[in-house]
Amino acid sequence: MTLATLSDVLRPALRDGYAVPGLVCLGWEDMRAFVAAAEAERAPVILQAGPSCRAHTPLPVLGTMMRYLAERATVPVVVHLDHGYTVEECREAIDAGFTSVMFDGSKKPLDENIAETAAIAELAHAAGVSCEGEIGFVGYQGGAASAGTDPDEAARFARETGVDAMAISVGNTHLQLEKGAGLDEQRIRAIEALADVPLVIHGGSGVPLDQRRALAQGSAICKFNIGTDLRFAFGDALRKAVNADPSRYDRVAILKETHDPVMEAARAAIRSVAAGGWA
């Protein structure tokens, strides 16, 4: 059994110079492929249930599915709630067996974000669960603009909330469809100099691969969330499977053809943050 908390996998990553990929799950087919990729690379992995995933499948079902995979894996697997927006949602995830919850209060005023995140971190820790928070708002491509993380505010946030990981806004964007210009390394260095906590990059698909690997190996960034790259792999594989034989309607046979392409995309994501060779 290698069910792990976020703290279990991020502290060794910070110590040894790599990052752990937070792979965004949308269903059974991709989460199964992600664990297969982690085992092939001998790497820890974080299975993430974000808002769109939870809109499709209830949290207790997701918790059972993810824990089933984690408990049978030979590498550490974290079952993680991504972008929880209320204490009730985080509590439901803890009750459903998630080993890590991310509370996103980044749109709230600083004092409110700190107070609510601290309360959820206390709730999580009492249950033996890790907690990730966010300071500075990470925007969305074609949507709300980012608000960069202030290093002094980040230091206060880390100190007063007691989070196990801190998501920051340093030029990253959610749902970015192409590799961007890169992250603001000067801001990253200022934050890590003041805040002694593993850092998290949301919107990791948009970070150039060379910078992603360099920061994984040489900064306090210990978690890159990867979603868009994996959605592309799944969508492309599904489209090819459907178009290859228009007379075929067996969803199991069709979805089976997404496994290998998605697994290979996840293996590439793992290698991009230098996480392989855990054991």
How long a stretch of residues is the chain? 279
Strand partners, 45: 77
The token pair that represents 204 in the structure block: 């990791």
Task: Quote the CA–CA distance of 166 and 198 in Å, as a whole number.
Answer: 6
The token pair that represents 17 in the structure block: 């110079």
Task: Quote the CA–CA distance of 250 and 252 in Å, as a whole number.
Answer: 6
Task: Quote the CA–CA distance of 41 and 18 in Å, as a whole number.
Answer: 14
User: Is-contact 226 204, C-beta < 8 A?
Assistant: yes
User: Considering only CA atoms, which of 80, 185, 206, 82 is closest in space to residue 140?
Assistant: 206
User: Is-contact 212 186, C-beta < 8 A?
Assistant: no
Phi, psi of 243 (to 5 degrees): -75, -20
Instruction: Please give the positions annotated as active site.
Output: 82
User: Is-contact 242 254, C-beta < 8 A?
Assistant: yes
In sequence order, which residues have a C-beta less than 8 Å from that of residue 182 and are 6 or more positions away?
171, 207, 208, 211
Amino acid identity at 143: G
User: Considering only CA atoms, which of 127, 128, 84, 126 is closest in space to residue 106?
Assistant: 84
